[in-house]
Each structure stands twice: as C-alpha cells, then as structure tokens.
C-alpha cells in the first residue's frame, strides 16, 4: 500500500526524541520504514548555575518539530496529517523534574549534564552496594534533600523529560522500564523498583521528607504495554493547528539509551551497541548480574526489562575533530580546499598503515572530565617518547584508538574481570561514517565482532517509532526480540567485521600504555589551572 493511503488510514507510528541539541520526529509506515520527518534545534541554558531547558523550550520545540514533520507529510504526499496509529516519546537520559500538588514545576529541569549530585550518588552507591551515577534522578533528589532545598517538602511527582511530555499529553504518570532504571534501581525479575533499596532510601531520609519515594515515582511499564491515549488537550498541545485527532494510543516513554538499543537491534542477551560521537557509550545486555558494583559501569535495562551494563564516557571525537580540522587548515594554506568528508576519509584510511600499537605514541582525548578514568577536568594530551615512531599513520591511529580508550577501560571490567559474553555489538554514530576504520578498531578494543548497519543512522527517534509500532502491530505473544528480528531488521544490510588478532594485540599494548600514563593527564589537571 502506498504511503499516502497508510497515512490517511492512520497505519503509521510516530517517534519523537528530545536530544541534547535537536528534537527529531520520525513517522514510519506499518513496516517501520521512515516516510516523513521533522526536527527542531535547541540548546540548553545555564539557569542558576544549572544546565536546563525551560518548559517553554520543551513545548515550543515539540510543537515546531511536529509541525515540520506534518509539513513534510503534506509536501511529499499532499495529505494533511489528522491521525497516527501510535506515538512514543523519548529523551536524553534521566535528570530531575519535580512537581507539586498543583502540577507546577518546582525548580528548573536539571539535565543529565549537571554533575551537582555526585556526592549524593557516591553516598547512595555505598548504601545500596549498587552504582548510582550523578545524572540519575534519585541522586538529584537525595542531593536536594542533603542541601536542604526548600522545594523538597512540596514534591508529589518526580519524572524525566520524556515522562513529563507523555504526562502532559495523556495525563498518565508512567515511564518505560529502561528509563525507570536510571531514575531508581529496578529489579529485572519483577520489573519494578527494587523494594529493598526503596526501604533503604526511605529509612535514610525518614523525617526529612513528607513522602515515601515510591509514591512520587512514575509507574513502570515495559515495551508493548498500554501507556494511555492522547487527550483532547494533549492533541491541541502537540498540534496547535487543530488537525490532529485525539484518542491516539501511546507506548511507554523511553530514554535515548533504550531507543538506541532498539534502533540497532541490540536488546538480546549477549548483544550490545556502541554509540560513538561527541561522547561514547557501550551497552551490553547481561545474562546475569555483576558480582559487585563498579563506578565505571551503570546498570540499566532494555525496554523489556533485561539487565544492561553501560559504560558511558564523556569524550570521544571532539579532540579527534580538532586535529582533522587543523590538517584542513594546513591544506588551505597550500591552496587546497578539501571537502570535510574526504579529509576524514583520507586521514582515517592513512591510519591503517600505522603500527598495530601506534608505534609507542599516546594520546588522551579529554576535552572534558572523564569519570571512568577519574580525570576531573578536560586536558587533551599527546605524548611520545624520543624513540617512538612518530609519523602520520601512527599519529592518526593513536587518536582513533584514544577515542575508545576510556571505553575499553570500562568494557574490560565486564568482558575480562566479570567474564561477560558478547556475541555481537553494533556500532553507530559519526565515528563509523568512514568505512571500516573505526569499526575495525572498536572490534580490536573489545575483541568481538562489530556490525554497522545502514539503518543505524536513523537514530533514536526511529527506535521510538518502532516501539510505538510494536504497541499496535505486535502479534499475540510476540516478543520485542522476535519483532525486531523478523519484522524490522530481517534482510537489512549490514557489514560485520571480526576482530583481527594482530589488531587486538596492538590495542592491548596501547591500552596498557594508556592506563599506565593516566597519572600524566591527572598531573596536567593539577598543573594547568
């Protein structure tokens, strides 16, 4: 059936994801093929020393993004969009949004970017024996309690960005389990907040707050469960033109980590994905719990509630981009204007001629702090000994290896110390745009096959649209795993590279040098104020 007919019949699904710099909407047909899209660029604000977005930013951005998607439908198919089969919302992970009994936001939205709750996260980690990162919602709440913030006594509801948007449009205070696991630890067996830790937290703050934490958190739902319908008021908020009908079903709102897993078909146990851009993170679906808590590893879940080990690093391509841009400036001085894509391809491909261990060179891509390696502030460094083999190939290979350096530290804990098994990992993000190079280096870093799929570039909004489609098109008893394998990714083109043993040995040597040299970059933090 043609896309125009599917749109008119409402046999579509819409995913909208609130990223750090862009809100994106993707409309898909009943086979999850994108047929229209729209986006809205935005930037966080520094409000009272907090990185935030205002409610006006959120609603205005949502409306502009939706309007552009609807205009894309009109332009391509000559149809005014009036109905959609299902809708889903996603957003950047976790953070802190709290509301009072009159549904008023008590303090500006505190995004994942804020590190202000690090002390509280450390204290909760000790209490629970379970790693609680500073960006998690419960860390923000406990920090506000410790700081005696006056708004705490008035909290009746705490949620995340996508949870807020979903609530605004449906009236339902719910959250997908993947995002819930970054609000408060979740029991992967019961698919609910961990009851032992709920009691520990309530005992910890007894007498300091007038609520139990479970009473202010949103209800947990797993993928495929009914999460409510678009209300009449919600339809007017999403589409002020009045064209969109109300009553459309919504799937559970999920975080960008969950939508990334869906968009790369990485929700099965022993699979994972690596997203490599400005930052880099690896997510591996675990067969069992880790033996203990590690500060380098966050424990979250898939959209169906299976446990995931996550290594999140603040730095990936920013320093690398700086070096590539400098080579571009040099070319212009010679009167040569090289297209950006060609510049990247040329330098990346040149790295393949380098020594497997980068000839003894060493670099740290820390434009900002890096918690995985305990470096408090950004100090990008390039270091070599006098007898290191210093040439262009080794230089580029070294910086490409460095993009995965901190990630390897965290992944090694899971893969080597904990014996986590990994059958396949999917790479997506800007670092993999040049064919083969970043993909083969990641395979060497984790010693596992890496697949890059053409659809991975569709991003989290597409993953959210798939989750919305799953809600309305799943067959009776059909798991999300089977749905993805058989009805989304069957026949999809992808390239898989197995790790080359020589590259693995070379990256191990580089990794040993990388860990041994960490005191150098920590000293740079101390000496270069």
DSSP codes of every residue in 95-156: -BEEE-TT--B-S--B-TT--TTHHHHHHHHHHHTS---TTSHHHHHHHHHHTT-GGGGG--
Report the greatest alpha carbon distance in the chain: 71
Residue 489 lies in a domain: no
Helices (H), 352-456: 392-403, 405-412, 437-446
Mean pLDDT of 162-180: 98
> What are the two backbone dihedrals, phi and then psi, of residue 24, each rounded to the nearest 5 degrees?
-125, 140
How do residues 30-70 score in pLDDT, each as one tens digit?
999 999 999 999 999 988 888 899 999 999 999 999 999 99
pLDDT grade for 78, boundaries at 50, 70 and 90: very high
Is 163's pLDDT higher than 70?
A: yes
For the segment 385-401, what is each residue's pLDDT rounded down to a tens digit?
A: 999 999 999 999 999 99
Q: Does 255 reside within a domain? A: no
CA distance 76 to 391: 51
The answer to whether residue 178 is domain-embedded is no
Give me the domain span that covers residue 378: 318-403+502-527
- Over residues 297-316, the mean pLDDT reads 94
C-alpha angle 214-284-308 in degrees, rounded to nearest 5: 10
* pLDDT band at residue 290 under the 50/70/90 scheme: very high
pTM for the complete prediction? 0.89
DSSP assignment of 24-42 equals: EEEEEETTS-EEEEEEEE-
pLDDT value for 314: 87
CB 405 within 8 Å of CB 397? no
Q: Exposed (0-12), middle (13-18) or buried (19+): which is 292, by Cβ within 10 Å?
A: exposed
Query: How much is the average pLDDT of 132-138?
Result: 94
Nearest to 358 by CA among 209, 251, 512, 231: 512
| Backbone dihedral angles phi then psi of residue 388, each to the nearest 5 degrees | -70, 155
Question: What is residue 114's predicted lDDT score, i.e. its pLDDT?
Answer: 83
Structure confidence at residue 529 (pLDDT) = 85
Residue 457, pLDDT above cutoff 60: no
* Residue pLDDT, tens place only, 401-427: 999 999 999 999 999 999 999 988 999
User: Which H helix or E strand runs over 282?
Assistant: strand 280-285
Q: Is residue 387 part of a domain?
A: yes
- Cα(243)–Cα(108) distance, integer angstroms: 32
Do 448 and 427 meet the contact criterion of CB atoms below 8 Å apart? no
What local confidence, expressed as pLDDT, does residue 47 receive? Answer: 85
Residue 164 within a domain: no
Q: What is the pLDDT of residue 81?
A: 98
pLDDT at 456 over 60: no
Rg from Cα positions in the chain? 23
Domain assignment of residue 53, yes or no = no
Chain mean pLDDT for the chain:
95
In a domain, 491, yes or no: no
Mean pLDDT of 12-28: 95
Of the segments 147-156, 453-462, 481-490, which one has the largest average pLDDT value? 147-156
- Number of structural domains, the chain? 1
Distance between CA 283 and CA 275 in Å, rounded?
A: 9
pLDDT value, residue 458: 66
Q: What is the pLDDT of residues 222-280, one digit of tens each?
A: 999 999 999 999 999 999 999 999 999 999 999 999 999 999 999 999 999 998 888 89
- 10 Å CB burial of residue 148 (0-12, 13-18, 19+) is exposed
Q: What span, in angstroms and rounded, lies between the C-alpha atoms of 432 and 456?
A: 10
The torsion of the CA quartet 168, 170, 174, 179, rounded to 10 degrees, works out to -60
Does residue 352 lie within any of the structural domains?
Answer: yes
d(CA 267, CA 178): 11
Q: Which residue has the tokens 């080579």?
A: 327
Strand bridging mode 362-364 / 307-313: unpaired
Look at residue 289 in the predicted model and tell me its pLDDT.
92
Cα-Cα-Cα-Cα torsion 375, 379, 380, 383, nearest 10 degrees, comes to -80
Q: What is the C-alpha to C-alpha distance for residues 449 and 442, in angstroms, rounded to an integer?
A: 9
22-29 and 34-41 beta bridge pairing: antiparallel
User: How far is Cα 370 from Cα 406, in angstroms, rounded to an integer?
Assistant: 8
**How is residue 157 annotated by DSSP?**
E
Q: What confidence score (pLDDT) does residue 115 get?
A: 79
């Amino acid at each position: 059936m043609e896309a125009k007919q599917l749109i008119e019949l409402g046999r579509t699904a819409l995913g909208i994801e609130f990223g750090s710099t862009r809100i994106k909407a993707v409309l898909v047909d009943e086979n999850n093929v994108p047929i229209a899209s729209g986006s809205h660029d935005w930037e966080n604000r520094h409000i009272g020393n907090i990185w935030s977005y205002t409610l006006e930013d959120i609603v205005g951005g949502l409306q502009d993004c939706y309007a552009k998607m609807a205009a894309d439908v009109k332009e391509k198919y000559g149809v005014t969009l009036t109905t959609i089969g299902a809708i889903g919302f996603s957003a950047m992970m976790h953070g802190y949004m709290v509301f009072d009994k009159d549904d008023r936001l008590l303090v500006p939205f505190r995004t994942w970017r804020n590190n202000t709750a690090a002390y509280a996260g450390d204290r909760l980690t000790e209490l629970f024996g379970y790693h609680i990162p500073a960006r998690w919602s419960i860390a923000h709440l406990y920090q506000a309690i410790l700081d005696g913030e006056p708004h705490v006594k008035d909290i009746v509801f705490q949620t995340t960005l996508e949870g807020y948007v979903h609530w605004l449009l449906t009236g339902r205070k719910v959250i997908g389990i993947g995002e819930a696991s970054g609000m408060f630890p979740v029991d992967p067996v019961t698919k609910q907040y961990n009851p032992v830790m709920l009691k520990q937290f309530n005992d910890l703050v007894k007498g300091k707050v007038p609520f139990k934490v479970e009473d202010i958190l949103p209800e947990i739902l797993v993928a495929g469960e009914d999460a409510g319908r678009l209300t009449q008021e919600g339809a007017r908020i999403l589409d002020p033109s009045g064209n969109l009908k109300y009553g459309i079903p919504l799937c559970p709102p999920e975080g960008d980590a969950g939508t990334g897993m869906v968009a790369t078909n990485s929700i099965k146990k022993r699979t994972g994905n690596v997203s490599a851009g400005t930052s880099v993170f690896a997510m591996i679906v675990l067969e069992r719990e880790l033996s203990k808590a590690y500060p380098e590893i966050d424990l979250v879940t898939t959209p169906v509630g299976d446990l995931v080990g996550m290594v999140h690093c603040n730095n990936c391509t920013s320093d690398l981009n700086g070096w590539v841009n400098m080579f571009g400036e040099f070319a212009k001085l010679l009167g040569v204007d090289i297209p950006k894509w060609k510049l990247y391809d040329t330098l990346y491909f040149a790295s393949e001629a380098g020594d497997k261990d980068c000839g003894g060179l060493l670099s740290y891509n820390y434009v900002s702090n890096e918690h995985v390696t305990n470096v408090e502030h950004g100090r990008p460094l390039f270091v070599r000994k006098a007898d290191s083999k210093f040439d262009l190939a080794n230089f580029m290979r070294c910086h490409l290896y460095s993009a995965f350096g901190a990630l390897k530290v965290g992944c090694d804990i899971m893969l080597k110390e904990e014996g986590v098994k990994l059958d396949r990992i999917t790479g997506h993000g800007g670092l993999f745009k040049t064919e083969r190079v970043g993909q083969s280096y990641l395979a060497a870093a984790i010693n596992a096959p890496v697949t890059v799929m053409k659809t991975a570039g569709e991003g989290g909004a597409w993953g959210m649209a798939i989750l919305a489609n799953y809600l309305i098109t799943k067959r009776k008893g059909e798991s999300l795993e089977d749905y993805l394998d058989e009805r989304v990714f069957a026949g999809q083109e992808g390239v898989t590279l197995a790790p080359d043993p020589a590259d693995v040995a070379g990256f191990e040597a580089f990794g040993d040098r990388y860990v041994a040299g960490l005191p150098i970059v920590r000293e740079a933090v101390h000496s270069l104020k």
